[in-house]
Structure 1
Amino acid sequence: MNLTVIGCTGSFAGPDSPASSYLLTGTDHDGRVWHVLMDMGNGSLGSLQRHIDLHELDAVIISHLHPDHCVDLAGLHVAVKWDPRGWPGDRIPVWAPKGTHEYLAAAQAMEADPGMSTEFIFNEWQDEVQVQIGPFRVTPYRVNHPVEDPYALRVEYDGGQGRSVLTYSGDTDSCEGLVRAARDADLFLCEAAYQEGRDEYRDVHLTGLRAGQAAQEAEVDELMLTHIPVWNSPTKAVIEAASAYDGPIALAQPATTFRIVADSERLAGRAVNGRVGAREG
């Protein structure tokens, strides 16, 4: 599968990147190309349209209900409902935590009935219950973040491009659910919003060190750090992670596409189009 970083700045959109949003693209065994958007934070809707037409979206999957991970779904609803040319596709399936429909309706000052249900099909995650979306099998794992029903998402791809596993941390501090979600992943896309020395902020976000510790315990093939706020040093996050994890480490880069494949053929961390990522060749 391919991972395109739509946005990766932590907690709010930055000058160079929207907030969290990642496009997964993969071909099934019949040759059909699927597009699944993973999180849709502030600013992501505009950047997404540089990569695909909105009607190509097959599903949106949301890790948790903080605005920097989901609020641009409200904008997507406007694009679907009010396009004067008419929306060419069906309702868009949305997999997300409980209460997402009500949350988004409130953001648009709408009544929840019917709210956005005429444009979206809302489905609620259940902890560790798998969902099949085309060639992607997605399993949510409850993690450690101060919002109701936060999840890490494990995405297992089986299609025309082979097999591969991506785990996305969502937002979390260290916890068992994160390690279970990341076990043996080909790429671990993991937040590192904090830096060591801010221990008064536990049970909210990972540091680079704690992301590295989770990657090492889960025995992932490669770690990619993301969700780094504008006031933190990406270099320091990588140094912290490298003190705990002995595998390759990359940084998520906006408008960059990475191919994720398994084992010896793994190319995660190498850009296939757009800007070059943190590790080349």
Structure 2
Amino acid sequence: MRLVVVGCAGSFPGPDSAASSYLVQAEDADGRTWSVVLDLGNGALGPLQRYGDPTALDAVALSHLHADHVADMAVLGVLRRYRPDGPLPPLRVLGPEGTVERIAQIAGKDPATDTGEQFDVGTWVPGRPVTVGPLTLEPVPVLHPVPAFGVRVSGPAEDDPSRTVVLAYSGDTDACEGLDALAADADVLLAEAAFHEGRDDAVRGVHLTGRRAAQAAVRGRARHLVLTHVPAWNDPERTLAEAAAVYDGPTTLAHPGLTVRL
């Protein structure tokens, strides 16, 4: 299983990155590559095309319905509907309750951008994993101002397909029991870190800092921490320093094109 960072800018696209989007891929026993995108925020459909054919995705998993995590679903629907070879069958989409309505709201009322026939949308149910080829996606409720989920993705290790590895994606969250459940024994914890210690202390229940993300990695004994969702107005080195003060394992700052092989 491998993770490719498509976009990692927090809250809005930055000058060097689209908003949140992460491609997860794994091969099955027959050698077929399965592809799942975790979130598809503003501007992410463009760079996604660098890493494969977006019309060949097997599923899209949405952590929550803020625009910086779902906005490009509207244009993905346009791509799938108007390709020269004709429209594609509905793509499997997983997300919180209200996902259908949210995508339709973003697409607008123009019949030309209607995405209704392009997506087969299922609603996350906590404790009910979803299987996509060799990948298992487990939604875990987390703490954010809107209904939000982190996703534990289990799949075959790159170096030994008989071994199962775990990618834990936080989505957007503050510290909470759900985040700890996600991080538990994860091979990679992909954690947002949109806030800074000291600057944003008065705002809780929204985002993590580098320190709080690292604390979750420590509590869960995660083996690799990848920090993401850093807004363009933040100093990424400060984010890394906050994490390093707590967590002494491998820590990586996400950037577009970063590939992590689990």
Q: Same fold judged by TM-score > 0.5?
A: yes
Match of 1:243 in 2: 245
SS of the aligned residue for 1:123 comes to strand
Unaligned runs of 5+ in 1: 261-281
Equivalent residue for 1:227?
Answer: 229
Contact 1:27 1:159 in 2 (8 A): no
Indicate the SS of the match to 2:137: strand
Spell out the pairing of 1:110-149 with structure 2 (5 A cutoff): 110=109, 116-147=115-146, 149=147
Whole-Å separation in 2 of the counterparts to 1:208 and 1:132: 31
Question: CA contact under 8 A between 1:173 and 1:202: conserved in structure 2?
Answer: yes
Structure 2 counterpart of 1:28:
28
TM-score in terms of structure 1 length: 0.88
1:277 aligns to what?
none
Residue 78 of structure 1 pairs with residue 78 of structure 2 = yes
What TM-score do the two structures reach when normalised by structure 2? 0.94
Q: Which ranges of 4 or more aligned residues in structure 1 deviate by more than 4 Å?
A: none
Give 1:208's aligned residue: 210
The Cα shift of 1:111 comes to: 9.0
Q: Decide whether the 8 Å contact of 2:90 with 2:118 is kept in 1.
A: yes
CA RMSD of aligned residues (A): 1.6
Q: Which amino acid aligns with 2:155?
A: Y
For the residues of structure 2 that align with 1:185 and 1:54, how far apart are their CA atoms?
A: 27
For 1:252, the aligned partner's letter is A
Question: d(CA) in 2 for partners of 1:107 and 1:191?
Answer: 24
CA distance in 1, matches of 2:93, 2:116: 10
Please list the CA deviations of residues 50-109 of structure 1 after superposition, one character each: whole Å capped at 9, or x if unmatched.
Answer: 11112211110000000000110011001111223313x421100011101111111122
* Map 1:153-172 → 2, pairs under 5 A: 153-158=151-156, 162=161, 163-172=164-173
Which residue number corresponds to residue 183 of structure 2?
182
Question: What is the distance in 1 between the residues matched to 2:212 and 2:54?
Answer: 36
In the alignment of these two chains, the number of paired residues is 256
CA distance in 2, matches of 1:33, 1:246: 34
1:242 Cα offset (Å): 1.4
Q: Secondary structure at the match of 1:22?
A: strand
2:107, 2:115 within 8 Å by CA — same for their partners in 1?
no
CA-to-aligned-CA distance 1:17-42 (integer Å, 9 cap, x gap): 00000001100112111011110000
Would you say the 8 A contact 1:135–1:159 is kept in 2?
A: no
Asked if structure 1 preserves the Cα contact closer than 8 Å seen for 2:168 and 2:190, the reply is yes
Residue identity over aligned pairs, in percent, reads 47
Partner Cα distance (2:40, 2:125) in 1? 20
- Check conservation: 1:27, 1:34, Cα contact below 8 A: yes
User: SS in structure 2 opposite 1:17?
Assistant: coil
Specify whether residues 243 and 23 from structure 1 end up closer, same or farther in structure 2 by C-alpha distance, changes over 3 A only: same
Shift of 1:256: 2.4
Q: 1:128 Cα shift?
A: 2.3
Q: 2:94 matched to 1:92?
A: no
Q: What are the within-5 Å matches in structure 2 for residues 263-278 of structure 1?
A: none
Structure 2, unaligned stretches of length 5 or more? Answer: none
* Alignment partners' CA distance in 2, 1:68 and 1:215: 24
Superposition deviation, residue 202 in structure 1:
1.0
